[in-house]
Structure 1
């Protein structure tokens, strides 16, 4: 049973999802949510400017291996081809793919839809076609998928007028790994980390509605995340946009790599990092779990419900000292 079949089964839907039929009502399946009493969600924090070592240390400290023997779909942040932290650093991909291979991934395929620039142009400008050839990794440009390569999704109670289209390779993937950046978002999203990364699994035709829904935009971002559940999330916080974004803005060095399995936990810790660095008013003056992306994701049961359910772990003294600062910010909100 692949991830898509599992999601349908656990939701109790007794039908097969075909292209164009979509997921609606009681047949809708969400990603895993923490059950009461299940314990806290772990986020590994590595304080380093060394991507190669930091990625390996963070994933190993997390202590999970969901990729062994699986065909992995790797979703980066290629909204544009602007330099990191606007887009995923190519070195991050190189070291993450190497680590996934060492963990026993059967195959690795990068999948993405950029925007507003053409996805193919972004991939060429960043050198991703050549990188994938060199690393023997697959590549799927979601923007080039045929109509049958998209599934209409309409979860109960969502804020989209008529649901949204999701790239079928994401729904069919045995295992999804995502890698995001640490940055603010100057066009309504407020911040863009693991939850907002999911915008890139939707069809470009959905973007007009998202970008013009000023009152519901952040809730709609969270709702996209009901379509799938990543098995592993890596946040590259070597540098961060602390204002502006997503493609340009003032940067600060954070020298942090995060790894986790819970999108809410990753984004909550990421917001604490931005607060520690010093960010804009929308970040500094609002409590972390009051941010609309996170509040809506909590309502939907997509992960942790509060800061108390997050366990930040480090593997050395510099990391532990910094983790304690982040814990205190997280606890205060």
Structure 2
């Protein structure tokens, strides 16, 4: 190839690039058939049967990738108060058995209670009985040493020193959580999957005694800090037990309403947005009812950090059960409001 031909090839290349750039600036549409960005799939089951509802919700997701994988479980055992303050034993059992049925490998429930001795809370709430029945291990975070945690400092975090994530959640092949549907009177505004991850980090640093919970609860950015934990806390599967909910008060007690719903997904922002929409449908606190759903600080910060859905348009709602379609329409109306 001579010099002249090489120059012509370069000129043609430059012209092509300029033409493509001009087309983009002019608003040329993407090639037909290009894949749209994936939407966050959220299953919404309407049922009076908790265990069946969990089973139906999980049937909407492909669990084959759990086969042979180690699983870290996170439930909601902040206090020794019954559901919806804490995970219902039937929910935990149904979830664990479904994972076992999918061929999951060793499973470990890891917990830290914020309002009581964790071991006592787990015993009173029946978690140890479920573990024996379903065949998984239980780890109490109280008293774990430095080797029980992994230090996490997510990019752009507002945590002053980052935080310590319990090691199972950092190293397991899969992380699965089940949360409740309720408001939070101590600054969180609501406590669902994003807030549930607070129980996966250390209360204080075993090495130097620094108290992460004091930082969290005294910060004007409390809801932002809550959201940022999920930059390090994976969510391969989430089951929200919405058979009933606290529409005010919380997390340990409040006004309880019957909802008869099980919500499941893999995107914590989408799952929590659906939860907020449901609370609004039943009349909730001024904080949770204020503004658009995605203006809630937990959701807004989580979306900014790339943790999950950034708006209602990113959520695909999947109704399950005869009463679910109408219920989902009401949820969609709240999400779009």
TM value normalised by structure 1 = 0.86
Question: Hey, what's the Cα distance between the residues in 2 that align with 1:291 and 1:48?
Answer: 28
Shift of 1:248: 0.5
Q: Conserved in 2, the CA contact under 8 Å of 1:66 and 1:175?
A: no
Structure 1 pair 44–37 and aligned structure 2 pair: CA distance change class (3 A): same
Does the alignment pair 1:92 with 2:91?
Answer: yes
Q: How many residues align?
A: 296
Pairwise mapping of residues 166-181 of structure 1 onto structure 2 (< 5 A)?
A: 166-181=165-180
Question: Hey, what's the Cα distance between the residues in 2 that align with 1:64 and 1:148?
Answer: 31
Question: Hey, what's the Cα distance between the residues in 2 that align with 1:182 and 1:65?
Answer: 28
Larger gyration radius, structure 1 or structure 2: 2
Q: Conserved in 2, the CA contact under 8 Å of 1:66 and 1:231?
A: no
Alignment partner, residue 189 of structure 1 = 188
Question: Hey, what's the Cα distance between the residues in 2 that align with 1:83 and 1:317?
Answer: 29
Q: Conserved in 1, the CA contact under 8 Å of 2:242 and 2:263?
A: yes
Shift of 1:107: 2.1
Alignment partner, residue 310 of structure 2 = 305
Question: Hey, what's the Cα distance between the residues in 1 that align with 2:311 and 2:134?
Answer: 39
Pairwise mapping of residues 1-333 of structure 1 onto structure 2 (< 5 A)?
A: 37-205=36-204, 206-213=212-219, 215-332=220-337
Q: 1:64-97, CA deviations, whole angstroms, 9 ceiling, x for partnerless residues?
A: 5442221111110011110000010011111111
Question: Hey, what's the Cα distance between the residues in 1 that align with 2:132 and 2:180?
Answer: 24
Alignment partner, residue 18 of structure 2 = none
Structure 1 pair 281–66 and aligned structure 2 pair: CA distance change class (3 A): farther
Structure 1 pair 244–132 and aligned structure 2 pair: CA distance change class (3 A): same
SS in 2 for 1:114: coil
Alignment partner, residue 19 of structure 1 = none
Shift of 1:110: 0.9
Question: Hey, what's the Cα distance between the residues in 2 that align with 1:235 and 1:54?
Answer: 11
**Pairwise CA RMSD:** 1.4
Q: 1:131-170, CA deviations, whole angstroms, 9 ceiling, x for partnerless residues?
A: 3123221111122322211122112221111111111111
| Structure ranking higher on relative contact order (CA contacts 8 Å, 6+ apart) | 1
Question: Hey, what's the Cα distance between the residues in 2 that align with 1:66 and 1:252?
Answer: 36
TM value normalised by structure 2 = 0.85
Question: Hey, what's the Cα distance between the residues in 1 that align with 2:236 and 2:68?
Answer: 13
229-238 vs 320-329, greater mean Cα deviation: 320-329
Question: Hey, what's the Cα distance between the residues in 2 that align with 1:98 and 1:144?
Answer: 29
Unaligned runs of 5+ in 2: 1-34, 205-211
Q: 1:168-189, CA deviations, whole angstroms, 9 ceiling, x for partnerless residues?
A: 1110111110000000000000
Question: Hey, what's the Cα distance between the residues in 1 that align with 2:90 and 2:272?
Answer: 22
Shift of 1:63: 4.2
Unaligned runs of 5+ in 1: 1-35
Question: Hey, what's the Cα distance between the residues in 1 that align with 2:303 and 2:295?
Answer: 10
Q: Conserved in 1, the CA contact under 8 Å of 2:46 and 2:322?
A: no
190-199 vs 283-292, greater mean Cα deviation: 283-292
Question: Hey, what's the Cα distance between the residues in 2 that align with 1:211 and 1:63?
Answer: 38
Q: 1:231-255, CA deviations, whole angstroms, 9 ceiling, x for partnerless residues?
A: 1000000000000000010000111
Question: Hey, what's the Cα distance between the residues in 2 that align with 1:306 and 1:50?
Answer: 31
